[in-house]
A and B are shown apart, each in its own frame.
Chain A
């Protein structure tokens, strides 16, 4: 590459909160996972496989969080996902057999049937219901750099127990190692939440790099000369990469961004709200609840009400994604060109996103990623994709600077997770953390039952710490469910604590909690002991 100007580092952060309800045969919130698998994780995997087969070279970073790892390796949830796929397949086959609707509608139904059949093949046959094995292979072949995340995506700066901050990192690394067979090189801090001191925990756990929002790096001390276009090092040698707002704004921006194009699929109009009650019963929910089926027949169309949306045209939508990928590449090339003229090295342009944006929210997003990676490899003589670690190998000398407290959430700090609506959570988390540490240090030779109780307390604590609950309470989506969940984990933890103290154990309760809140099957309560 003669004219190389710089590097693009795409980072996809994959996360969903741990949701599993074996006590109910159907549970609506479990669909968050099923939708993400259907619309994002599997389509992206299929795209990466296709690129690989074509001989396209690309490097992409993906964080897969421990709760997501736990769910994707849970046999009950994967069994239920197969049921989800099967019901869509039989719905589509029956609809097509009915042979109703316009030619365009029939075409779209056929598109969905083909797509679900492909998903089913990859999930059930090729990957044998083990989605992570596919991503693991792509990592071993050098296409992906998979990184871990804090155990339950906690906002570390809002965690006051130093030991619990460490546990979040340690358990996150442990969960990763068990699936990917090696230590992670990097970590995604839940919500990119950073405050001074976190760098020390990362360093002592062998983490080489992480990501921050733009101002986390730009406001670092002393001022980083290269801004976000080269990493900075903390005194311990941990590299911090900052989000480039220029590169990501066209994807993120709700107004002027690509996902709002009129040709793309409309998110809110779903066939689940339109089919007969009888069909809802048969295919979606035996109790007759209506919710998103994932089969959406319309396009965004314009700024019109849902009933005025026009029918989706898959070919047009795909052509639009192709154009957007070309435009994105062009913009990154321009930016790299300019940056190289004022820097003494090739800049890195870091573009982090929520993985679920691609496919779930922006249906054609996974196609966009595929087009972009193919185009860069085939047609760009100016930019290459790279992982942060490989960039560090090329440029191991960087400026020393201490990052600034920040998140990548609305407002850039902590107000999404800490405000009048959800601040009641934090005194519980603080005191529960203290209780957990106290018992872990005090009880050295528990019998089998007490050991199980202590370990389950660890799970309840970590689940209560998930940033998702406070986030959803603030945004108002699923806020009742989130309030119930965080209260449940607080109550379960304190109930078990009292049981340990009184030495009266309710075995039925223990079994119930172990089956339901089964995150981190490998957890050992001793991890909560402070290091001497």
Chain B
């Protein structure tokens, strides 16, 4: 098909093009305004396509320019760790260290400037990670993570009861004493609740077929 320029087209042909471009109010336009509207729409579409392309074409693997290490809680006793560093030192000297309140709980050689993995750890404890170079007994940290809390899978062993009165309107906390009716029955009930909670299977709501 030979391509006609817009100027050569009849009004009916132009209206068809305008329809394809979803130009609103096209029936009220004369030939010149129709051509302008079509051209403008075409240019806008081109600009949008270019912008979209620019973002989609980018490489995801950005180098953020700094050393970083992420430690994240996954589930009781299981954490995720990911790191990327640049450092002067031998690859084989790179170690990952996990600490609980300043005390080292795990130290493993990772021998890589970047990596990720899932680790078994003790549940219910705060944890930080660092990546560094280890020579002999000396560990020089390159980067440390934020502190996280590893989730726990059972009720707390602490049973002390403290009550507080909070004014719902102004939030003022006053610690209070109070009497409870049936402590044993309540504890039993809580055990039952825990079991029920674990048997419930959730419906996954499908968002599409």
Interface residues of A (CB under 8 A from B): 23, 25, 32, 157-158, 160, 162, 195-196, 203, 208, 213-215, 218-228, 233, 235-237, 239, 243-246, 248-249, 252-255, 257, 259, 267-268, 291-292, 339, 341-344, 354, 356-357, 360-361, 389, 392-393, 396-400, 404-406, 409-415, 418-419, 423, 426-428, 430-431, 434-435, 472, 475, 477-478, 487-488, 490-492, 494-495, 506, 508-509, 512-513
Contact = CB atoms under 8 A, between A and B. Distances in A.
A522 to B, nearest CB: 24
A196 B194 CA distance: 21
A508 B47 contact: yes
B2 interface: no
Given A225-B180, A478-B207, A392 B168 contact: yes
B201 interface: yes
A405 B73 contact: yes
B4 interface: no
B201 A428 contact: no
Interface of B: 22, 47-48, 50-52, 54-56, 58, 60, 62, 64, 66, 68, 70, 72-76, 78, 80, 82, 84, 116, 145-146, 148-168, 171-173, 175-176, 178-183, 185-187, 189-190, 193-194, 196-197, 199-209
B205 to A, nearest CB: 5
A400 B175 contact: yes
A218 B200 CA distance: 16
Nearest to A488: B55
A451 to B, nearest CB: 20
Contact of B62 (A430, A492, A494): A494
Given A223-B155, A253-B201, 17 more contacts: A158-B72, A196-B149, A208-B171, A215-B194, A219-B154, A222-B158, A342-B181, A343-B186, A344-B179, A404-B156, A409-B202, A413-B75, A414-B151, A426-B82, A494-B62, A509-B54, A509-B55
14 contacts: A214-B197, A219-B156, A223-B190, A224-B190, A246-B196, A248-B200, A398-B166, A405-B151, A411-B75, A418-B74, A431-B62, A434-B66, A435-B64, A506-B54
Contacts of A342: 181-182, 185-186, 189
B83 to A, nearest CB: 9
B141 to A, nearest CB: 17
Which of B78, B150, B154, B190 neighbours the largest number of chain A CB atoms within 10 Å of its CB?
Answer: B190
Given A218-B193, A398-B164, A427-B68, A253 B200 contact: yes
B155 A218 contact: yes
Given A405-B73, A413-B151, A427-B82, A254 B52 contact: no
Contacts of B167: 396
B60 to A, nearest CB: 6
A435 to B, nearest CB: 8
A209 to B, nearest CB: 9
Contacts of B148: 157, 195
A495 B73 contact: no
Given A246-B193, A427-B68, A477-B206, A255 B201 contact: yes
B157 to A, nearest CB: 8
A255 B202 CA distance: 10
B151 A415 contact: no
Given A215-B197, A252-B203, A253-B200, A225 B179 contact: no
A399 B162 contact: yes
A354 to B, nearest CB: 6
A410 B75 CA distance: 11
Given A233-B164, A360-B205, A218 B190 contact: yes
A213 B82 CA distance: 28
Given A218-B194, A488-B56, A157 B62 contact: no
Contact of A214 (B73, B74, B194, B209): B194
A220 B164 contact: no
Contact of A237 (B60, B171, B206, B209): B171
A268 B206 CA distance: 10
A-B complex: 7 closest residue pairs judged by Cβ atoms: A222-B158, A221-B156, A214-B197, A413-B75, A512-B51, A227-B190, A342-B185
Contacts of A513: 51
Contacts of B145: 160
Contacts of B171: 203, 208, 237
B55 A491 contact: yes
A202 to B, nearest CB: 11
B158 to A, nearest CB: 4
A269 to B, nearest CB: 10
B61 to A, nearest CB: 10
A225 B172 CA distance: 22
A400 B164 contact: yes
